Structure 1
Amino acid sequence: MKPLSEEQTAKIVAMTMDLAREGRTAELLEFIDHGLPVDSQDEAGNTALMLAAYRGHPQTVRALVDRGADVDLRNDRGQAPIAGALFKGEDEVVTVLRAAGADLDAGTPSAREVAQMFGRAHLLE
């Protein structure tokens, strides 16, 4: 089997990022289970986990964590998935990421800083 070109790989990554945004877990996992690295990043450094967390898809986040996704991998802006979930008010996603060991001090701003800014510190207690 011939290796994929950079262009083909970029298209696959873009497709999987859309699946993560939409919470289409089963379809997303098909790509991962067939060899796409779980921590693949788009042109902005976002991972499927980051996008699923930000869009409020706890089942997708949980499935990616189960496949070994790095819960602290930041995008090109230094943002961590848990801070994005806190910013968007996605409490269930925050719970999943905390259970997976997300670093509350990772990223800029950190999850702790976001929680303070938006009165959501109780979620981190």
Structure 2
Amino acid sequence: MKEQLFIAIREENLSEVERLLKNNPELVSTKDARGSTPLLLATYYGLYDISEIILKYPQNINEQDVSGNTALMGVCFKGFEHIAKLLLQNDANPNITNFNGTTALIFATTFGRKGIAWMLMEKGANTSIKDDRGLTAADHAKMQGIREMAELLEKKKE
């Protein structure tokens, strides 16, 4: 059953995902070989409708994969603003760090996702968190040459 669910997600088979979860709601918390939950996989592929269905079932929205990444982190570096909004509306935590100390905000700034960065800060993203290299989200924005974002992040820290 678990593999069927992950295949249905990869194939974007909405009705099959719905059927499998309705009949086996516990599948929502299973993980594939890379440590991805159904939600992590659906959000990583930018599948909004499937993500919505998966979120109807009780689960840890902040579950981490084998690298410590959450669904929110994945959409921040992929740039799926509409899914970031969905996850934040469902109480995804923007301050969790992966195994490199990276947060969703650091991913958003590193990849120039201004809209997502703004949403994260509105939901309480901590601009002072440093990754394992000792860099904040503002530092990453500076490195990417995104001055406007770096300045905004610096002001938020004060």
Q: TM-score range by the shorter chain?
A: 0.7 to 0.9
Does residue 112 (structure 1) correspond to residue 135 (structure 2)? The answer is no
The alignment of Structure 1 onto Structure 2 pairs a total of residues equal to 123
Residue 9 of structure 1: aligned partner: 30
Q: For residues 13-65 of structure 1, what are the alpha-carbon distances to aligned partners after superposition, in whole Å with 9 as ceiling and x for unaligned?
A: 44322211122122123222211211111111110000011100111111111
Q: Any stretches of 5+ residues in structure 2 without a counterpart?
A: 1-22, 153-158
**Contact 1:39 1:69 survives alignment (8 Å):** yes
Structure 1 residues 34-113: aligned runs within 5 Å:
34-108=57-131, 109-113=135-139
Mark the CA change 1:104 to 1:4 in structure 2 (over 3 Å): closer, same or farther.
same
Q: What is the alpha-carbon distance in structure 1 between the residues aligned to residue 117 and residue 84 of structure 2?
A: 10
Q: Any stretches of 5+ residues in structure 1 without a counterpart?
A: none
Instruction: With the length of structure 2 as denominator, give the TM-score of the two structures.
Output: 0.68
Indicate the larger mover: 48-57 or 110-119.
110-119
Instruction: With the length of structure 1 as denominator, give the TM-score of the two structures.
Output: 0.84
Percent identical: 20
**Contact 1:74 1:107 survives alignment (8 Å):** no
* Larger RCO of the pair (alpha carbons < 8 Å, separation 6+): 1
Q: Which runs of 4+ in 1 moved over 6 A?
A: none
